[in-house]
């Protein structure tokens, strides 16, 4: 396997698994040539460049809706597919992997039309429109979560888990830790933050302080000033309040409990490291996929799910305190999360790509 195209974009939930696959491909095939194909509007170009990946952009738009007439694709799809065909002719990939998001649609479609081996990877419990359409065409459908609703042909499906970056995988221990005397809580709202979670934390600062609960809080850039002022007004001078946590591995290692959204990459990180969590799914996620993701962990005993609409009725600090104070609760949640973890997901994805190239 000499040349591979990874194609996706739009959000970190699609892009970070692609970068993790690239990392694994380079580890297993040091001389491999990789190309990341994405859109012109998302952050994928910048992130690919930071990872040292060659990048090509296509003109694309969203593909949400019912039926082909509702996709709104006629304005951009033909031109995008033609450009993707040109990329394929120049780069000559052995295999193309799409990881969801509108930015990968044209490239995978063009590869299928060109009879190049193709696969997709779906991170969420409810697949997006792009992957639901492409799943009918590609040779392999790689999943982070079981396909409980039967969206894809079972003969194509391989449950790989969600690929993670090496820095995160390295934090996974042989087994989860026992009881901790610390009371460290990590607050995450995804890469863009979550204003509702931020507000719930601000309203609970007195309670957190009274219970001697330490906080590390990712606010998102847009809400940093407001949240930082809230901490200052409450007399907090030791909490770590940041717009974005660059070293997420350090943050997870510090935390005893994580309060966060239920994006696929976040949940893969939580389970890989056996971190118990309070999950607050983003209520406006497409097809409510974050709720489906969260319920998967809750049913396994790895997390507590708290709907965003409940934040106005409950005190977040009290929810956290109850989990911290129940003997053995975090230990049991941690063990359940750890058992769900798939730190080898990147390697599993690469093995499937190798199989496609070699016809196995």
Write out the binding residues for UDP-N-acetyl-alpha-D-glucosamine.
11-13, 124, 165, 191, 245, 290
**DSSP label at 240?**
E
Which of 164, 146, 86, 181 is closest to 295 using CA atoms? 146
Phi–psi pair at 303, nearest 5 degrees: -155, 160
- Residue 121 CA to residue 12 CA, distance in Å, equals 14
Bridge partners, 33 (sequence order): 3
Return all residues near 59 (Cβ < 8 A) that are at least 6 apart: 39, 40, 76, 79, 80, 83
Decide: helix, strand or coil at residue 217: strand
Burial 70-94 (b: 16+ CB within 10 A, else e): ebebeebbeebbebbbebbeebebb
Max CA-CA distance within the chain?
Answer: 64
- Residue 225 CA to residue 220 CA, distance in Å, equals 10
Return all residues near 318 (Cβ < 8 A) that are at least 6 apart: 204, 207
- Residue positions forming the annotated binding site: 11-13, 124, 165, 191, 245, 290
**DSSP label at 223?**
G
Q: 234 exposed, middle or buried (CB, 10 Å; 0-12, 13-18, 19+)?
A: middle
């Amino acid at each position: 396997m000499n040349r591979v195209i990874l194609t996706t974009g739009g959000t970190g939930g699609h892009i970070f698994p692609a970068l993790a696959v690239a990392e694994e491909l380079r580890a297993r095939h040091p001389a491999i040539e990789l190309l990341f194909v994405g859109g012109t509007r998302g952050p994928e170009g910048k992130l690919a460049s930071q990872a040292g990946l060659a990048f090509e952009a296509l003109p694309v738009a969203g593909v949400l809706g019912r039926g082909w007439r509702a996709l709104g694709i006629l304005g951009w799809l033909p031109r995008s597919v033609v450009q993707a065909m040109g990329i394929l002719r120049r780069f000559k990939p052995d295999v193309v992997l799409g990881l969801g998001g509108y930015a990968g649609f044209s490239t995978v479609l063009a590869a299928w039309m060109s009879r190049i081996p193709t696969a997709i990877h779906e991170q969420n419990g409810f697949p997006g429109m792009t992957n639901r359409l492409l799943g009918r065409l590609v040779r392999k459908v790689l999943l982070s979560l079981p396909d409980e609703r039967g969206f894809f042909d079972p003969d194509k499906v391989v449950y790989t888990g969600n690929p993670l970056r090496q820095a995160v995988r390295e934090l996974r221990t042989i087994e989860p830790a026992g009881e901790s005397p610390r009371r460290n809580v990590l607050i995450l709202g995804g890469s863009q933050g979550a204003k509702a979670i931020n507000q719930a934390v601000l309203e609970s600062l007195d309670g957190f302080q009274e219970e001697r609960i330490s906080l590390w809080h990712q606010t998102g850039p847009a809400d940093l000033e407001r949240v930082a002022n809230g901490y200052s007004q409450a007399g907090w001078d030791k909490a770590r309040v940041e717009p974005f946590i660059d070293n997420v591995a350090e943050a997870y290692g510090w935390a005893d409990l994580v309060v966060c959204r239920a994006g696929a990459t976040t949940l893969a990180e939580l389970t890989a490291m056996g971190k118990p969590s309070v999950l607050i799914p983003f209520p406006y996620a497409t097809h409510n996929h974050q709720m489906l993701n969260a319920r998967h962990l809750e049913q396994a005993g790895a997390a507590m799910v708290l709907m965003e609409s409940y934040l106005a009725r409950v005190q977040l600090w009290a929810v956290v305190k109850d989990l911290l104070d129940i003997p053995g609760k975090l230990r049991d949640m941690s063990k359940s999360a750890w058992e769900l973890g798939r730190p080898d997901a990147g390697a599993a994805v690469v093995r499937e790509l190798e199989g496609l190239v070699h016809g196995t």
